Chains A and B, each alone.
Chain A
């Protein structure tokens, strides 16, 4: 997904009515937002964080120092690890790590939906739609989290809804 398209999705899920215009910079097509009252902002996370503040939804950025740092860490993870790795092997290491991280989590940083959940969901979507039923079962915690986020009102929008099967098919199968 192009970054500009992703930011459009985010705007909608934040309930921002007036859409911003984004330009893209360089060969990696990094998004740039020209703000009214200041310098332009560059980069998906920077703009996304700015949009959250614009929508007065600062709780999406965490309230305690710990939450704030955790959220930024997962945002960074999203743009470095998730976006950086296009090949399948890497994607599987990534899913494996996330799966084990999410074992005892509802949302990425605990019990509240944050910007990190939303952007990680957008970033992972292209991998998750391609998973087989068996892989979805293997990354059970990722699947559960992903399913949880995609059912959050207003987040998924036009992205395809990924089907997860509730009963296990492969456990003890051989």
Chain B
């Protein structure tokens, strides 16, 4: 074995002393290296000393090296030694490295140096004197003594730093320091220069962070009630008393909605779903539903809001789909556009416009941007090697070619990606390529294509990002993705394709080609607006007055945060660029494997057939919105959240508040005489309301939903503590108290109905109808909690809002949608239908299943290790699953019908 040490590394001291233990037992070579040498290949920070073992393993912890030497000499570990070493690593070292840094690097002296160490030194002293032993772990010197002595020696060898009053520590330290091996090690490391000998090493080390105060925890923080000041309470009461008066009149509906100078103009887009298939839950939460919550919130704030979306219709996937269904691409688009529109209508998505990209406006605007880029020199021409089918006389773009995957050998890999291994493929790398139309073998031919010169636009982009990103208005994942693209360097991007179904390229020699969807899909937002109003440029060429919010799943970030801004900046036409880029992570489906093309899960049209209302879907999807991290849809969890949060918390509170008004007060809101407790409650609710606003202003949709539920929890607790149902039967004072509590509670219910509006619009409207909430209060959400249902207000008929979801109902749905076996691919714009695999693949899988089955049987017969058997069984089950999928059989019943 080889020990690496460096000049001035304090860890060398104990290590050299401990090394004395193995003399004559093992061969030990010692190499001296520079302090910044990274000896251990897998560590980013240099660490020394390091012991390289003959097996090739590294010990890079000083106390582990010492322990190893002790173990080799026959020493047995004990609890007390372990405890000292753990204390040394977690308590002494952080304090000691701070002290050494102050002394050696910063040149501080005295108490400045000893300060951080005081407690640790006292601890050693007390332990020694309490045990009444000369050494840390007993009567003889041992591992703990060597490690601690070695750590402390550089500092304590200076008598100025060995405190007089710590007698036990002093005598322990001096005893060890006079021993021969220790003296030798000290001379080698400190070279009679004292602590300054550590300088070459310490100055290469990062500055130690001050010892941390509190251990970090991943337990959810207990919800603690904030401490309120008198002023906050007084302000809440004042606002409450003003009531409806201070509400502005509702905004008149405009058509078309256009930006207004001097107002906040909010333009919201949701990523355009790809037309060729039915959207699933992941698409819905990833963009349209998230954007809808924000659009509804924005309208509640009385911001001038335009929310638009539409179907993305051009591209190969449409052409392929058209061929599959025997329709023209236009017919496919017409058919699926309606399906999309119906689904979003069912989910209550409040688009101002839901358009499509196959319109003359799209051609006009795309070609205009292209021409401007071309004249300004941002378009390049280059030759691309492509597959061409001679029989069909055309180049085979992306999905028009299939073949054997060059990476995994999968038989039916597509021209752009392999479904089995998920890798992206360059079509010419496919083995045995076949034209998808006529099945003949294509040849490689070169074809001229146009490229957007991103490197040339990079400077402008960085300048714009430099102004946009510091506002922290982009979600962290979006910032990260854009930064990593920039770090890797931008490359020219091909913007044309050999297709017919697309926006034509207005350039000589490119008549047979169209723009690639990546170039023109984002222009869809502009053309969809242009179809809505001829004054579309007031939204899209008005960066000073318009705040553009774009919602998408994170795979769309490069096109919205980089490619489109580059086109727009290069076109030099004062385009409105994205100010708030809101990207979600992925939503998984149950705990099955993530699979793009074999995905089974809940699709938009099926959600309608479950009998579960749209608002419940909205609530649950928003509750698990993949905000900041991936999340998973789970049927059981949906049942749980419906029954606990909606039924027992929110629904229970609102219903009780309303019922008390009807039952005890004849439907008329009673007089409220606020006690100090009530006033404090008003302030708590106000605080939570303001928190809700802060969160939604930052588009933290999921977190703001939690704020709503917290308000309702406050309400439930308030009713529970004050028991109006008991007091109503009591004295006059009790009855009055019951009135106040009921009145405050029903006003909280009214506030909740408005806060809930962006999330559950139908439920919100139902509550507002039940409470007969005055119109101005329904359409505005102020930042203060107001009394919107004053005494004497007559409410309507109250009825329960939510239904319990039953276990067997959910179990049925779970079975129906294949929960547990499959996942949906949430954010991918393209969703394939489940395709059954070719006979060859099925054959291979069957053989694999048989083989694996034999392995399991053999292992079981040999009574092999349980874990090993379990692992093999898991593999077998997985293979069986794959086989069932490949054969298109449902997994529960081996003889089931074919899936579509």
Partner of B41, one of A29, A86, A100, A167: A100
Task: Determine the chain A residues whose CB is within 8 A of the CB of B212 once the complex forms.
Answer: 28, 84, 86
A70 and B43 contacting across the interface, CB-CB below 8 Å: no
Write the nearest CB–CB distance from B427 to chain A, whole angstroms.
14
Interchain CB contact (< 8 A) of B593 among A39, A42, A101, A166: A166
A163, CB-defined interface residue at 8 Å:
yes
CA distance A131 to B585 in the complex (A): 10
Given A42-B87, A76-B89, A69:B585 Cβ within 8 A: no
Classify chain B's interface size.
35 or more
B630 within 8 A of A: yes
Residue in chain B with minimal CB distance to A71: B64
**Which residues of B have CB within 8 Å of A42?**
83, 87
B42 touches A165 (CB 8 A): no
Of listed A43, A166, A172, residue having the most chain B CB within 10 A = A43
Given contacts A43-B86, A73-B64, contact A133 B585 (CB under 8 A): yes
**Closest chain A residue to B418 by CB distance?**
A167
Q: Is A174 in the interface zone, CB < 8 Å from B?
A: yes
Which residues of chain A from 79 to 114 have a CB within 8 Å of any chain B CB?
79-80, 83-84, 86, 93, 96-98, 100-101, 103
| A80 and B79 within 8 A (CB) | no
User: Does A72 lie at the interface of the complex (its beta carbon under 8 Å from any beta carbon of B)?
Assistant: yes
* C-alpha spacing A113/B415, complex, angstroms: 43
Which residues from B are CB-within-8-Å of A38?
79
B61 A83 Cβ-Cβ under 8 A: no
In-complex Cβ contact of B57 among A28, A70, A166 (8 A): A70
Interface residues of B in 387-426 (CB under 8 A from A): 420-424
Q: Does A9 contact B (CB under 8 A)?
A: no
Q: Is A77 an interface residue (CB 8 A)?
A: yes
Q: Which residues of B contact A5 (CB under 8 A)?
A: 219
Chain B positions within 8 Å of A72 at CB level = 61, 63-64, 67, 85
- Kindly list chain B residues whose C-beta atoms are within 8 Å of the C-beta of A45: 82, 86
Give min CB distance, B44 to chain A, whole Å. 5
B residues 59-85 with Cβ under 8 Å of A? Answer: 59-61, 63-65, 67-68, 71-72, 77, 79-80, 82-83, 85
A157 within 8 A of B: no
Residues in B whose Cβ lies below 8 Å from that of A96: 44
Kindly state the separation between the CA atoms of A72 and B591 in the bound complex, as whole angstroms: 35
Residues B44 and A93 in contact, CB atoms below 8 Å apart: yes
Known: A49-B82, A97-B43. A29 touches B71 (CB 8 A): no
Taking the closest CB of chain B, its distance from the CB of A95, in whole angstroms, is: 11
- The distance from the CB of A42 to the nearest CB of chain B, in whole angstroms, is 6
Contact status A132-B216, CB under 8 Å: no
A100 & B59 in contact (Cβ 8 Å cutoff):
no
A132 touches B585 (CB 8 A): yes
Question: Are the CB atoms of B86 and A132 closer together than 8 Å?
Answer: no
Q: How far is the CA of A30 from the CA of B554 in the complex (A)?
A: 40
Interface residue B488 (Cβ < 8 Å from any Cβ of A): yes
Q: Give chain A interface residues in 1-45, CB to chain B under 8 Å.
A: 1-3, 5, 27-30, 38-39, 41-45
Q: Is A50 an interface residue (CB 8 A)?
A: yes
CB distance from B574 to the nearest CB of A (A): 29
- Chain B hits for A152, CB < 8 A: 867
Contact present for A173 and B424 (CB under 8 Å): yes
In the bound complex, CA of A72 to CA of B93 (Å): 16
Cross-chain pairs A/B with CB under 8 angstroms, 5 sampled: A66-B53, A66-B57, A133-B586, A163-B591, A169-B422
Q: Which residues of A contact B (CB under 8 A)?
A: 1-3, 5, 27-30, 38-39, 41-46, 49-50, 65-66, 68-70, 72-73, 76-77, 79-80, 83-84, 86, 93, 96-98, 100-101, 103, 125-126, 129-133, 152-153, 161, 163, 165-169, 171-174
- In the complex, the 5 A-B pairs of residues with the closest C-beta atoms, listed nearest first: A126-B218, A73-B64, A69-B68, A65-B71, A167-B422
